[in-house]
């Protein structure tokens, strides 16, 4: 095979990867800055593009009845989330993530990797000892590069510098997740 043929093959492969990654934004509904894909997830049928997108982001996906993975694409101001800012994610007491197994919020960098931080924390969820507001029962998660202090550290999800990748996981989601009547709340700048 000639060198020019190898270059053409590599160029075509790069174009295909770019097309796959570019089509990620077309799947699922976006509400409050979170994109959630329920249709054909985990059972793709003829949706080859969606199968390729999911494979590019990981090994596969569970059907929605088993797990749903909302991905944060923008903050409440419809701006990309970035470690240069401090954010809060606040769940009202009557609107906690509805999952029969468990839920979590996981932090990644722009490349999809977890980043070392001073408390070795990469996710927060219902199995962590977070502190709920004593007045109204709400739960606030603090997303920031900088430790928000001892009174908030239990609810701190450390963020790296630069663009952030934040994914929520809801295992054994309740019907209100599957019918999209519950969506994660918007992430707001602190």
Q: By C-alpha distance, which of 84, 104, 99 is closest to 167? A: 104
On whether the 3-189 domain is CATH 3.40.50.970, my answer is no
Cα 186 from Cα 184, distance rounded (Å): 7
Tell me: the pLDDT tens digits for 126-171? Answer: 999 999 999 999 999 999 999 999 999 999 999 999 999 999 999 9
Section 32-37 average pLDDT: 94
The b-or-e profile of 11-50 (16+ CB within 10 A means b, else e) is: eeeeeeeeebeeebeebbebeebbbbbbebbbebeeeeeb
The residue that leads in pLDDT, 154 or 42, is 154
Q: Does the pLDDT at position 56 exceed 90?
A: no
| Least confidently predicted of 27-41, 46-60, 136-150 | 46-60
Cα 32 from Cα 154, distance rounded (Å): 25
Cα 38 from Cα 165, distance rounded (Å): 20
Q: Does the pLDDT at position 177 exceed 70?
A: yes
Tell me: the pLDDT tens digits for 79-115? Answer: 999 999 999 999 999 999 999 999 999 999 998 999 9
pLDDT of residue 22: 63
């Amino acid at each position: 095979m000639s060198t020019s043929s190898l270059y053409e093959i590599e160029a075509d492969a790069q174009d295909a990867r770019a097309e796959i990654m570019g089509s990620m934004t077309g799947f699922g509904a976006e509400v409050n800055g979170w994109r959630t894909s329920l249709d054909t997830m985990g059972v793709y049928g003829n949706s080859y593009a969606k199968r390729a997108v999911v494979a590019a982001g990981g090994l596969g996906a569970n059907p929605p009845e088993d797990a749903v993975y909302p991905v944060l694409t923008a903050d409440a101001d419809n701006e990309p989330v970035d470690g240069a800012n401090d954010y809060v994610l606040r769940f009202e007491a009557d609107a906690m993530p509805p999952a029969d197994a468990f839920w979590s919020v996981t932090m990644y960098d722009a490349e999809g990797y977890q980043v070392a931080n001073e408390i070795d924390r990469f996710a927060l969820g219902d199995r962590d000892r977070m502190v709920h507001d004593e007045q109204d029962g709400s739960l606030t998660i603090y997303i920031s590069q900088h430790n928000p202090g001892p009174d908030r550290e239990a609810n701190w999800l450390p963020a790296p510098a630069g663009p952030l990748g934040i994914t929520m996981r809801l295992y054994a989601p309740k019907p209100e997740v599957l019918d999209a009547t519950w969506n994660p709340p918007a992430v707001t700048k602190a």
